[in-house]
Structure 1
């Protein structure tokens, strides 16, 4: 499926017509190259539409311009089937970045992208503990948004993950990695992936992110997904576990109610 494009020409700001230029002066080194590598890795699976990379520079990323449209239940079901196939394309390890990319990734808004630690773990539990929860705890502490109770609960949750209490035998999936509703752009042909934090992880993580801020027709997305890859029993109960990191990062970035939400999520997971 190919999103619609404008005709040839040049816009008033010098960007060619048909191109969306994502720009930020003073972006971290290789920030846009990292995003481009992630988009290309996702597109290589040929599973779900991904916005096409047209060019990349140190302060910008040129993407194919997409024309938004209202999503339908049929679009959502098709998107779910494609997302399952994307996850099935797999990754080399939990925490790995796209082939050809070395170093950490990025997570967060364009005006304040934060490091997304990379590594290579054989088990999802140790990956989540070492590369997500521990860095999150340090970041919350640095920003004075870590209460003693939350610090203790994050430590307890990490210990459970390292012990294998919450693991399963699922292999690493090829994840979008920041799949909240705003990073699915609906066109006349269906949903298209944009703005990834691509890495190897657990398939339920992308699905939990879609639920976090309310994707249109989410039930249809999940139905389509399970047509291709039925989810392991209890996936609804595990949703909070997969939401700890993104909610916690919102707490670090924005504070306020996200801190309370993080405390509640982690507290429930450790049995408070």
Structure 2
């Protein structure tokens, strides 16, 4: 029987060890379930945490955090652990749910729908939409949050947001449309160097065949998007859901009449914005002015 090293009791300090976005809880349900299963398979294999960590490339403290549901294990760890512990796919089957636990609680449902959507429409008014952000821009945004996020949470949220961008590599590729308010492009979050990299990213992604980026100019006298940002997610079966987010709270709009109104609004916003070609030219000009 494996005896656990001393000093690995299940303790944690909210705000430091807590799962990001879990409102101070020491782990979401799926993380606790995954952690218990991981520990069960590790003990069955006759490995203590130090031995297991050595074989997977993680510290004893990190293994303890995974088993206690206090940290979100990356997919590569889950794959390695499942193979090393001969778990028969049990750990890997939880990989998608575990991955979603890295998102703030209010965004997890939207993250699942986003990963499955065949079409996405995004209207951004405060910052560059997350799917288009560079890692440096993400970090700048998260470091501006108040109350302050601890460094581990910032790192995990950056990693989670970067992982969402795999949507562009999906096959078949979803159709993705963005309309970004000009004020977002004029706001150098993180400094000029960060913003320069961000504008270059927009130009790069804007050339993807399945992506259209449009800019809503500040000089427009008509703007159907004055109510704020939103996202429309289109499912494979034709279902449409709208996602609204503000001040750490979110709303999933599913009522058909209300969703239809938001869909119509996005169509008007697109018509009022610059065309995709004009928008890329505008972004390129803004890059030259930095």
TM-score w.r.t. the length of structure 1 is 0.27
Higher helix share: 2
Structure of higher CA gyration radius? 2
RCO (CA 8 Å, sep 6+): is it higher in 1 or 2?
1
Given the two structures, how large is their TM-score scaled by the length of structure 2? 0.26
